[in-house]
Structure 1
Amino acid sequence: MLGRIIKGIAGFYYVETKGAIIYECKAKGIFRKSGIKPIVGDIVEIEIIDEEKRLGNLTDVLPRKNSLYRPPVANVDQAVILFAIVKPDPNYNLLDKYLIMMRQLDIPVIICFNKQDIATREEAKELYDAYEKCGYQVLFVSVKEEKGLDELKALLKGKTTALAGPSGVGKSSLLNKLVPDADMQTGELSRKIDRGRNTTRHSEIFVVKELSDESGETFIIDTPGFTSLELRGVEADSLMDYYPEFVPFEPECRFGGCSHIAEPDCGVKNALERGEVSKVRYENYRIIYEDLKRMKPDYSRKR
C-alpha cells in the first residue's frame, strides 16, 4: 500500500494513505543497512500488520523529487522562509544561507517578513531593496492583523510548501491562520533575550482545506525553528554563483574569476559603492566566503 509520511517522531512514522487513513509505522531493518532514513514528505510503501489498530511497517521509500537537509523534508514544490521585520531583528546571515541551500536544490523560495504592524516603512524598505533585487518574491505580512495573507494564500494554492524559519517570528501563528484545526501552540517571545521559544518539535504535513478543491490539494509542511545552518557542497570560489545580483557587474571586473573580496577594480564592489548592490547582501557574502575559506582543508601540508 502506498502512502505519504506526514509526521515522524522517535522512530515512528505516521503514513497517510488513500481515504485519509493514517497508519503508525516503524521502518524495517533494511533501511538502516542501506543508510536510508525516511523523512516527512516521502512517498512510501507500507505493509499492514494490524488493520484495526492502524499499525504497519515501512517497506520501501520511492524516489524523491527533492529533499532538504535542514529541515529534513522531501518532495516539496516550494519553500516559504518566514522572518520577522523586527522583534526579533532578522538574521541576514541565516536567511542568505537558507537561500543558498534552496538555490542548490533548485527549489523556489518566497521570502515572507512578518510583524508588518510593528515595523516602520524604512525597516521594511531596507529588506525589500536587499532581497527583491535578487529575484526573490518578497512578501510583507502581519499575521496578527491578517494583512497580506490573501496574497500568500494565492501562492500556496495547489502546492506542497515547506514553511521554515527561526523561532519567535510567528510561524506557528501563521500556521494556525492557514490550518485552524492544527491546534498548534504559539510560543511567547522571551522579553529578556528577544528570541522565541521553539514550539514545533518535529516536521508535519497539514492539508490547507481552504485552498484545496477538486483541482488539487494544498499542503503545508511545518518545520522546527532553527538558529543555525551549515552549508553543504558549497566552496568559497563558487559562492558568487548563489548571488545572482552580482552577475550584471562581473564583466566590469579586471580579473577573470574575481572573488569580489580583495581584488582591485572589482565590478561588484564598484556597484556596491554606487548603491546598486545591497550592503546587507554583500556583507553576508563576505562573511560566508571567509567562513568557507577557513573550513577548506589544506592539502598542501606534508603528512
Structure 2
Amino acid sequence: MEGILLRRYGGFYYVESGGQVWTCRLRGRFRREADLLPGDRVEMVPLGPGEGVIEALKPRRTLLERPAVANVEQAIIVFSLSTPPPDLELLDRLLFLSGVKDIQAIIVWNKVDVAREEYRDLPGIYRQIGYSNLIASARTGQGVEKLREVLAGRLSTFAGPSGVGKSSLLNALQPELNLRTGEVSAKGGRGRHTTRHAELIRLPGGGWVADTPGFSRLDLPSLDRLEVAGYFREMEPLIGRCRFNSCLHRGEPGCAVAAAVEAGEIARHRYEHYLNFLAEVIARERSY
C-alpha cells in the first residue's frame, strides 16, 4: 500500500493510507538508512489492525530542510500586520527560498483586525511585485474561507516567525485541532514557540498542511552569484538590460536594476535584501 507520512515520534511513523492512519515501524536494513520526513510518500505493508511496516520511500518531488517537509507544493508564509512587527528580511528570505525550491509562495497577512497603520501598505507592495496575498484575521474569521480554498487538495507548509498566528489560523480552519497558540512577548515583541515538531494535518476539505516550528533565520542555499537576482521577481525582467552581462547590480555603471530602484520601480528594502543575500552567497563561494 502507498501512503503519506504524517508525523514521526518515538520510533513510530504515522502513515495515512486507505482512509486511515497506520502506526508503522521501519523494515530491517531500511531502518538504518532511511530519514523519513512528513510529506514523504512511502510503501507500507499492514501487519494487523492499524499497524504496519514501511518498506520503501518513493522519490521526492521537493524537499525543504527547514521546516523539514517533503513533497510540498506551496508555502503559506504568514506574517502579522500588528505584533510581532513584520520582519521583511525574513519574509524576503522565505520568498527567495520558495523560488529556489520551485514552490509556490502565498503570503498571508494575519491580524488585519488590529493592523497598525504603518504596515497597511505592505500587502499592496508585494502584490505589485507579483506575489499572491491573502488578508486574514484568525480572531474574526476574515480570509479563513479563502485560505481553505487555497489549501484544498494540495500539500502546503505554513512558515513564518513565532507569534504571527500560524496555529491560530489552523485552529480557525479546523477548530477540533485545538493546536497550542502562544501570546507575543510584551517585552521583546516576539512570539513564543508553540509548535515543537513538524507534522501534517489533514483538512476536511482535502489536502494537508504542515504545522511547523517557528524560526527567525534561514540560511541560503548554494547558488552562483549571478543567479541571485533571478529569484527577485521585480529584478528578473531587467537581467540582460545592464551595460555589462556580468553585472551584479551593486553599483556598476549602467545598471538597469539600480536605475529602477532610484526611479521607485523597485522597493528599496527589497534591493537592500538582495544585496544582503548576494553578500551571503559570495561569502559562501569564497569559503569553499
Deviation of 1:90 (Å): 1.5
Deviation of 1:108 (Å): 0.9
Aligned partner letter, 2:198 = S
1:242-281 equivalence runs, <5 A: 242-281=231-270
> Which blocks of at least 5 consecutive residues in structure 1 are unaligned?
212-216
Residues 101 and 173 of structure 1, relative CA distance in 2, 3 Å threshold: same
Deviation of 1:27 (Å): 6.0
Deviation of 1:121 (Å): 4.8
The answer on whether the counterparts of 1:130 and 1:281 sit within 8 Å (CA) in structure 2 is no
The answer on 1:193 being equivalent to 2:193 is no
Q: How many residues align?
A: 288
TM-score normalised over the length of structure 1? 0.88
Structure 2 equivalent of residue 202 of structure 1 = 197
Structure 1 equivalent of residue 105 of structure 2 = 109
The answer on 1:141 being equivalent to 2:136 is yes
Deviation of 1:298 (Å): 5.7
Aligned mates of 1:233, 1:31 — CA distance in 2: 30
Structure 2 equivalent of residue 20 of structure 1 = 20
Aligned partner letter, 1:242 = Y
Partner SS state of residue 73, structure 1: strand
Structure 1 equivalent of residue 58 of structure 2 = 62
Residues 141 and 27 of structure 1, relative CA distance in 2, 3 Å threshold: farther
Deviation of 1:28 (Å): 4.2
1:65-80 equivalence runs, <5 A: 65-80=61-76
> Which blocks of at least 5 consecutive residues in structure 2 are unaligned?
none
Deviation of 1:12 (Å): 2.6
Moved more, 192-201 or 287-296: 287-296
Q: Percent identity?
A: 38
Structure 2 equivalent of residue 32 of structure 1 = 32
Structure 1 equivalent of residue 210 of structure 2 = 221
Partner SS state of residue 68, structure 2: coil
Partner SS state of residue 15, structure 2: strand
Deviation of 1:274 (Å): 1.1
1:115-130 equivalence runs, <5 A: 115-125=111-121, 127-130=122-125
Structure 1 equivalent of residue 280 of structure 2 = 291
The answer on whether the counterparts of 1:28 and 1:58 sit within 8 Å (CA) in structure 2 is no
RMSD of the TM alignment (CA)?
Answer: 2.0
Partner SS state of residue 196, structure 1: coil
Aligned partner letter, 2:167 = S
Moved more, 248-257 or 192-201: 248-257
Aligned mates of 2:28, 2:269 — CA distance in 1: 48
